[in-house]
C-alpha cells in the first residue's frame, strides 16, 4: 500500500484502486473497512511526522512527499533536466544528470512488493522510463565522442531488449565510429533476422537508412566537433533529419446524437461563451462545465452544439475522453491527455518534454493564436482538467462531468450548465423521434406511463425507444408491460454495454465518492421518505452531523443527491435502485437493520418532543431512555415542532407505512400516535386514517393491547373527521376505551372519552356528549392532568353553544381559560377565549363577545403553531360577522377580507362563505 502511494506521490489514489492493489480480484467482504484499518496501521508505523503525510481526500488517499525523498521522483527530475539539456545540446549536463538518475536504479523495481496488480500496472512504465533514460545517456556519450566506451554497454542492452531498434541503431553507430564497420553491418543483420523471426517484419525506415549509410560510408555518421568540446552525435545527429510533417488540423468530434432534443438554456450558454471566446477584447479562453447525473445528456449537448459551430474553430476541434468515472479504465492522467492533444497537432514524441508543468506549457504554446474547440469529456476532477486549459483567447473549452467541479468554477471562472431531467414534452418528443409519431399516436393514453418509466432521463428514454424498435410488433402497452415485469429499474435499462448501461455508469460515480459519501449513498436506500435532512441521514450512516453534511455535499457534487430545500435532500429513483442493490451487496442484514432502527428512533424521539408541545393535554405512551449518540431535531417550542414535522412529514408517514414490513411494528404504532395530532391539525385526515390503519396492523402483530387501543383511538378520530360510517367509527372508539380500561391507562381512557364526546357533539347527541365529556373531565382530574381538564372544559363550552346551553358554555370556557393561564398554555388559552367569544356572540351579548375577540385576536397573531392559520381565519370570519352585527360595515369587510386571503391561500372551501358575505355587503 505504501509503495502504491509513493509511486503516485502527490496524487490521490481511489479506494477501489488500493483495494485492487491489496487483494487483486478477491477482496474480502469488508474490504473498505479493512483498508481503513491498514491505513491507520501504516500511519502509526510511520510515526506522527511521516504518518501525517498520508492524507484522506474525496478521491481516496494520497501521500505528500518531496521529490528528493522518493527515488522515482528524483529519477524523473534528473531525467527531465537531462531532456531539457539535450534540447540545448548541453551534452555534459545530460551525462551528469542521467548518471545520477541511473545510479538510483538498483535491480528490478517492486521485486519485494507482493502485489501482482501493482507490478502489472507500474512495472512496465518504470522499465520504459529506465530504457528511455539509458538511450538518452548513450546518445549523449556518442555526442561527445565516447563511442568506444559505450560499445560493451550497448551490446548488453540489445541482448536484454532485442526488439528495441533505437538501441541497435546506437550500437551500429558506436561500432562504425570505432572503425568496426563489419561488426556494425553484422549488428544490422542480427537485428533484422531477429525481427523477421519473432515478428515477421523488416526493420523500420530509420534503421534501414542507417544501414544504407554504413554501406555508403556516409560522412554524417562520424559527426563533427561542436563548440565547447561537445560533438553532436547519436542517431538523431547521425543522419540528416527527415522533414517535419505538414501542419495538422485535427477534426476529432465524434458524431452528434441524431435525436437531440431540448436543452435550450444550455445551448444559449454555449452560444454566449462562443461570443466571448472570439470577442476582440477577450483576454482569457472561456470554459463551460456541463454537469449532471449519468445519462442526462451532457456529452450529447456538447457534441450537438460543437457540430453546429465547428466552422467557427478553423484550427481544429479536439475531443478527448478523460475516463473520470469509467469502471473499466483508470482516469486518464493529465500527462497522457496532453500527449494525445499535442500528437493531434502533429507534435513528434521526442519534442514533448517530461513533467506535467512543461507539457502543459507546451500545449498552451501550441494553442496560442489558434481558434480551437476543446471538449474534455467525462472529467473526474479539477486536477484532470486544469493542465489542459488553453491560456489565450480564441479557444473555447467544454468540460462534461458528473462532478460539479467547483474548483474549476473558481480558478478558471468557468460557467456552469447543470442539466436536469427533460421536461415531459421533451421526453415525448424524444420518443416520437425514435419510435415514430404514428406509433405513439395510436396509443396516446400510454404516453404518461412511458415518460414515467424512463424518468425523463435521455439515456433511459433512448434505451426504451431502442427496445420498441427492436420489437416492432409490440403495442406500446405491451412494451410497457415488458419493462414493468422487471422489478429493478436498473435491469430495465441494462444494455450490456459499459458505455450505455445505467448500472455501470452509476458504479463509476459511486467509486468516485469519499468513503463517507459511499456509506451514506448505500444507507439512503433504506430510507423510505422522499426527502431527508442532515440529522436523519446522520443516523442512517452512523456519522456525526458535520461529517454527514460533507457526505451530502459530496453526493450533490456528483449529482447523486438533489437539494430539495436548504438542509433537505431528495434522490432520483434510478439512483435509489442502485443504492439498494449496493447496500444489499456490501452490507449485512444486521447492519441494515441497525441503521433503520437508528433513523426510526430519531424520528420517534424528535416527534415525541414536538407532539408533547403541540398537545400537552395528551399523555403519550412512555419511551425507553434515548441512546447516547442520538441526534434529536431542534424543537424548543410548538412552532419549532410544527416546522420540524412539516419538513419531515413525508419521511415520517413513509416510515409508519413501512415500519411493520421492515420488522419494526413497535415503531409503527408509536410514530402514528405522535404524528396523528399534527395530521389532525393540518386537515390531512385521509393520511391520518391510513397511518392509524398501519398502526393497527403493527399492534395486532405485536399482540399489545395498549398499542391496539392507541391505533383504534386514532382510527376512530380520523373516521370521525372524515365522516366515515358512524357505526364503524363509534365501534373503534368504544373498543379503544375498553382496551385502555383493560390495561389500566387513565390517560388513555380520558382521551378516548374525549374523542367520544366530540363524536357525539358533532352529531348533536347532547346526552351522550355530556356523559363522555364529564368522564373525560373526571379522569383527567384523577390523572392530575390540568391541561387535559381544561381541554375537556373547552370542548364542553364549545358544544354547549351548539345545544343553546349558553350558561354552561360561558362557565366552562372561563374555567378553561383560568386553568390554561396557570399552566402557561397560551394556545389552549387562545382557543378557550375563542370559544367564549362564540358563546357570547351566539347568546346575543355582542359587547362581551367583542371584548373576548379583542383578547383572542392578538393571542392568535402571536402564536406560531402548525395548522393555526385556518383557526385564525375562522376567528376572523366570525369577528367580521360580529362587526357587521354591531353596524361596523368597514370593520366587517376588513376581517372578512383577511379571512378570505387565508382561505384562498389554503384552498379551503370556507372561502366561498366569506366571498358571499363580502359580495352581499358591497352590493348594499
Q: Which residues contact 48 (CB under 8 A, 6 or more apart)?
A: none
Q: Which residues contact 466 (CB under 8 A, 6 or more apart)?
A: 434
Angle subtended at Cα 595 by Cα 590 and Cα 598, rounded to the nearest 5 degrees: 125
> How do the residues of the chain divide into helix, strand and coil, expressed in percent and rounded to 5?
65, 5, 30
Exposure pattern of 774-802 as b/e (b: 16+ CB <10 Å)? ebbbebbeebebbbbbbbbbbbbbbbbbe
Q: Give the least confident one: 388-402, 548-562, 623-637.
A: 623-637
- The Cα 523–Cα 513 span in angstroms is 14
Greater confidence (655 vs 218) lies with 655
* pLDDT the model gives residue 740: 96
240 has a pLDDT exceeding 50: no
843 has a pLDDT exceeding 80: yes
Greater confidence (424 vs 246) lies with 424
* pLDDT the model gives residue 497: 66
Rounded to the nearest 10 degrees, the angle between the axes of helix 726-743 and helix 746-762 is 160
329 has a pLDDT exceeding 70: no
In which band, very low, low, confident or very high, does the pLDDT at 633 lie, cut at 50, 70 and 90? low
Sheet order of strands, 287-291 included: 317-321, 373-377, 396-401, 287-291, 415-418
- The Cα 658–Cα 733 span in angstroms is 25
Mean pLDDT of the chain: 86
Q: For residue 838, what are the β-bridge partners?
A: none
CB 712 within 8 A of CB 734: no
Closest C-alpha among 885, 817, 825 to residue 849: 885
C-alpha cell at 439: 406509433
* pLDDT the model gives residue 356: 83
CB 379 within 8 A of CB 333: no
C-alpha cell at 149: 566506451
Angle subtended at Cα 807 by Cα 805 and Cα 810, rounded to the nearest 5 degrees: 105
Q: Give the least confident one: 630-639, 794-803, 806-815.
A: 630-639
pLDDT tens digit sequence for 804-828 = 999 999 999 999 999 999 999 998 9
* pLDDT the model gives residue 385: 92
Rounded to the nearest 10 degrees, the angle between the axes of helix 116-143 and helix 91-103 is 150
Q: What integer is the mean pLDDT of 697-713?
A: 96
Q: Strands 562-565 and 317-321, how do they pair? A: unpaired
Using CA atoms, how far residue 65 sits from 2, 8, 10, 130, in Å, is: 12, 10, 7, 21
Greater confidence (483 vs 554) lies with 554
The helix/strand/coil state of 599 is helix
* pLDDT the model gives residue 632: 66
226 has a pLDDT exceeding 50: no
Closest C-alpha among 721, 548, 520, 747 to residue 631: 548
* pLDDT the model gives residue 597: 94
243 has a pLDDT exceeding 60: no
CB 887 within 8 A of CB 924: no
* pLDDT the model gives residue 340: 86
C-alpha cell at 673: 400516535
* pLDDT the model gives residue 284: 80
**Other C-beta atoms lying within 10 Å of the C-beta of residue 628:** 5
Q: What is the 3-state secondary structure (H, E, C) of 499-562?
A: CCCHHHHHHHHHHCCCHHHHHHHHHHCCCCCCEEEHHHHHHHHCCCHHHHHHHHHHHHHCCCCE
833 has a pLDDT exceeding 60: yes
466 has a pLDDT exceeding 80: yes
% of the chain residues with pLDDT over 90: 37
In which band, very low, low, confident or very high, does the pLDDT at 343 lie, cut at 50, 70 and 90? confident
- The Cα 440–Cα 580 span in angstroms is 33
- The Cα 287–Cα 856 span in angstroms is 61
* pLDDT the model gives residue 630: 67
Using CA atoms, how far residue 551 sits from 65, 420, 545, 582, in Å, is: 28, 21, 10, 17
520 has a pLDDT exceeding 90: yes
Q: What integer is the mean pLDDT of 234-257?
A: 61
- The Cα 528–Cα 592 span in angstroms is 13
pLDDT tens digit sequence for 39-81 = 888 888 888 888 888 887 766 788 887 777 888 878 878 887 8
In which band, very low, low, confident or very high, does the pLDDT at 755 lie, cut at 50, 70 and 90? very high
614 has a pLDDT exceeding 70: yes
30, HSE (Cβ side, Cα atoms, 13 Å): 7
394 has a pLDDT exceeding 60: yes
C-alpha cell at 547: 461529517
763 has a pLDDT exceeding 90: yes
Angle subtended at Cα 869 by Cα 867 and Cα 870, rounded to the nearest 5 degrees: 80
CB 520 within 8 A of CB 540: yes
* pLDDT the model gives residue 672: 96
pLDDT tens digit sequence for 139-195 = 888 888 888 888 898 898 888 888 888 889 989 999 989 888 898 899 999 988 887
* pLDDT the model gives residue 482: 80
Q: What is the DSSP string of 308-364?
A: HTGGG-TT-EEEEE--TT-SSSPPPPHHHHHHHHHHHTT--GGGSPSSHHHHHHHHH
- The Cα 320–Cα 329 span in angstroms is 14
504 has a pLDDT exceeding 60: yes
* pLDDT the model gives residue 893: 92
230 has a pLDDT exceeding 60: no
Amino acid at each position: 500500500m505504501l509503495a502504491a502511494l509513493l509511486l503516485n506521490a502527490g496524487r490521490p489514489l481511489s479506494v477501489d484502486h488500493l483495494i485492487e492493489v491489496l487483494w487483486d480480484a478477491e477482496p474480502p467482504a469488508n474490504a473498505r473497512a479493512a483498508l481503513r484499518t491498514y491505513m491507520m496501521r501504516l500511519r502509526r508505523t510511520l510515526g506522527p511526522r511521516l504518518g501525517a503525510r498520508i492524507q484522506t481526500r474525496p478521491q481516496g488517499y494520497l501521500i505528500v512527499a518531496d521529490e528528493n525523498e522518493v527515488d522515482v521522483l528524483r529519477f524523473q527530475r534528473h531525467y527531465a533536466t537531462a531532456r531539457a539539456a539535450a534540447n540545448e545540446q548541453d551534452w555534459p549536463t545530460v551525462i551528469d544528470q542521467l548518471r545520477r538518475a541511473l545510479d538510483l536504479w538498483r535491480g528490478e523495481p517492486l521485486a519485494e512488493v507482493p502485489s501482482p496488480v501493482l507490478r502489472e500496472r507500474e512495472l512496465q512504465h518504470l522499465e520504459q522510463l529506465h530504457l528511455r533514460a539509458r538511450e538518452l545517456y548513450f546518445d549523449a556519450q556518442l555526442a561527445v565522442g565516447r563511442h568506444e566506451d559505450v560499445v560493451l554497454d550497448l551490446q548488453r542492452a540489445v541482448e536484454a531488449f532485442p526488439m528495441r531498434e533505437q538501441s541497435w541503431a546506437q550500437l551500429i553507430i558506436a561500432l562504425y565510429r570505432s572503425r568496426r564497420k563489419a561488426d556494425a553491418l553484422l549488428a544490422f543483420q542480427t537485428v533484422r533476422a531477429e525481427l523477421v523471426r519473432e515478428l515477421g517484419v523488416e526493420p523500420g525506415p530509420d534503421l534501414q537508412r542507417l544501414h544504407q549509410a554504413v554501406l555508403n560510408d556516409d560522412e554524417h555518421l562520424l559527426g563533427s566537433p561542436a563548440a565547447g568540446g561537445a560533438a553532436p552525435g547519436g542517431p538523431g545527429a547521425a543522419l540528416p533529419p527527415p522533414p517535419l510533417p505538414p501542419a495538422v488540423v485535427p477534426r476529432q468530434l465524434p458524431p452528434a446524437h441524431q435525436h437531440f432534443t431540448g436543452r435550450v438554456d444550455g445551448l444559449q450558454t454555449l452560444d454566449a461563451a462562443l461570443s466571448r471566446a472570439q470577442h476582440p477584447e477577450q483576454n482569457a479562453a472561456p470554459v463551460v462545465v456541463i454537469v449532471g447525473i449519468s445519462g442526462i445528456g451532457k456529452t450529447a449537448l456538447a457534441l450537438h452544439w460543437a457540430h453546429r459551430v465547428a466552422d467557427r474553430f478553423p484550427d481544429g476541434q479536439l475531443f478527448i475522453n478523460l475516463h473520470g468515472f469509467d469502471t473499466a479504465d483508470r482516469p486518464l492522467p493529465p500527462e497522457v491527455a496532453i500527449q494525445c492533444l499535442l500528437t493531434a497537432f502533429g507534435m513528434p514524441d521526442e519534442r514533448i518534454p517530461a513533467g506535467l508543468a512543461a507539457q502543459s506549457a507546451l500545449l498552451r504554446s501550441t494553442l496560442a493564436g489558434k481558434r480551437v474547440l476543446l471538449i474534455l469529456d467525462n472529467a473526474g476532477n479539477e486536477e484532470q482538467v486544469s493542465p489542459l486549459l488553453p491560456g489565450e483567447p480564441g479557444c473555447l473549452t467544454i468540460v462534461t462531468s458528473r462532478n460539479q467541479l467547483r474548483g474549476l468554477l473558481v480558478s478558471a471562472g468557468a460557467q456552469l450548465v447543470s442539466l436536469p431531467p427533460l421536461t415531459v414534452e421533451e421526453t415525448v418528443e424524444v420518443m416520437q423521434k425514435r419510435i415514430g409519431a404514428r406509433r405513439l399516436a395510436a396509443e396516446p393514453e400510454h404516453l404518461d406511463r412511458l415518460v414515467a418509466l424512463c424518468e425523463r432521463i435521455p439515456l433511459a428514454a433512448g434505451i426504451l425507444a431502442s427496445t420498441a424498435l427492436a420489437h416492432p410488433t409490440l403495442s406500446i402497452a405491451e412494451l410497457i408491460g415488458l419493462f414493468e415485469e422487471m422489478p429493478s429499474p436498473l435491469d430495465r435499462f441494462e444494455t450490456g454495454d459499459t458505455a450505455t448501461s445505467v448500472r455501470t455508469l452509476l458504479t463509476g460515480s459511486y467509486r468516485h465518492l469519499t468513503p463517507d459519501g459511499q456509506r451514506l449513498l448505500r444507507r439512503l436506500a433504506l430510507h423510505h421518505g422522499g426527502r431527508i435532512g442532515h440529522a436523519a441521514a446522520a443516523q442512517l450512516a452512523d456519522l456525526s452531523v458535520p461529517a454527514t453534511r460533507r457526505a451530502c455535499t459530496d453526493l450533490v457534487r456528483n449529482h447523486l443527491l438533489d437539494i430539495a430545500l436548504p438542509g433537505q435532500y431528495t434522490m432520483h429513483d434510478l439512483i435509489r435502485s442502485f443504492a439498494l442493490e449496493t447496500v444489499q451487496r456490501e452490507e449485512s442484514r444486521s447492519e441494515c437493520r441497525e441503521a433503520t432502527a437508528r433513523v426510526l428512533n430519531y424520528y420517534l424521539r424528535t416527534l415525541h418532543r414536538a407532539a408533547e408541545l403541540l398537545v400537552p393535554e395528551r399523555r403519550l405512551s412512555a419511551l425507553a431512555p434515548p441512546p447516547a449518540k442520538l441526534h434529536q431535531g431542534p424543537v424548543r417550542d410548538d412552532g419549532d415542532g410544527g416546522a420540524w414535522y412539516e419538513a419531515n412529514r413525508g419521511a415520517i408517514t413513509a416510515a409508519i407505512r413501512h415500519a411493520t414490513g421492515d420488522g419494526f411494528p413497535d415503531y409503527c404504532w408509536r410514530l402514528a400516535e405522535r404524528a396523528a395530532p399534527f395530521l389532525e391539525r393540518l386537515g390531512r385526515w385521509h393520511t391520518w386514517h391510513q397511518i392509524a390503519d398501519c398502526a393497527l396492523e403493527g399492534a395486532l402483530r405485536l399482540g399489545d393491547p395498549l398499542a391496539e387501543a392507541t391505533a383504534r383511538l386514532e382510527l376512530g378520530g380520523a373516521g370521525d373527521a372524515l365522516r366515515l360510517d358512524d357505526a364503524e367509527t363509534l365501534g373503534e372508539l368504544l373498543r379503544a376505551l375498553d382496551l385502555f380500561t383493560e390495561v389500566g391507562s387513565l390517560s388513555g381512557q380520558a382521551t378516548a372519552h374525549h374523542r367520544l364526546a366530540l363524536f357525539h357533539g358533532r352529531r348533536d347527541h347532547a346526552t351522550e356528549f355530556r356523559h363522555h365529556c364529564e368522564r373525560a373531565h373526571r379522569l383527567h382530574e384523577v390523572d392530575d392532568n390540568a391541561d387535559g381538564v381544561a381541554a375537556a372544559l373547552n370542548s364542553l363550552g364549545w358544544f354547549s353553544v351548539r345545544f343553546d346551553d349558553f350558561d354552561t358554555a360561558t362557565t366552562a370556557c372561563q374555567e378553561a381559560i383560568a386553568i390554561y393561564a396557570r399552566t402557561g398554555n397560551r394556545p389552549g388559552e387562545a382557543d378557550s377565549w375563542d370559544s367564549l367569544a362564540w358563546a357570547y356572540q351566539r347568546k346575543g351579548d355582542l359587547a362581551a363577545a367583542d371584548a373576548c375577540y379583542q383578547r383572542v385576536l392578538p393571542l392568535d397573531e402571536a402564536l406560531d403553531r402548525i395548522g393555526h392559520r385556518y383557526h385564525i381565519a375562522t376567528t376572523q370570519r366570525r369577528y367580521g360577522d360580529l362587526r357587521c352585527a354591531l353596524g361596523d360595515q368597514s370593520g366587517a369587510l376588513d376581517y372578512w377580507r383577511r379571512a378570505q386571503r387565508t382561505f384562498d391561500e389554503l384552498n379551503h372551501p370556507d372561502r366561498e362563505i366569506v366571498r358571499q358575505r363580502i359580495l352581499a355587503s358591497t352590493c348594499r
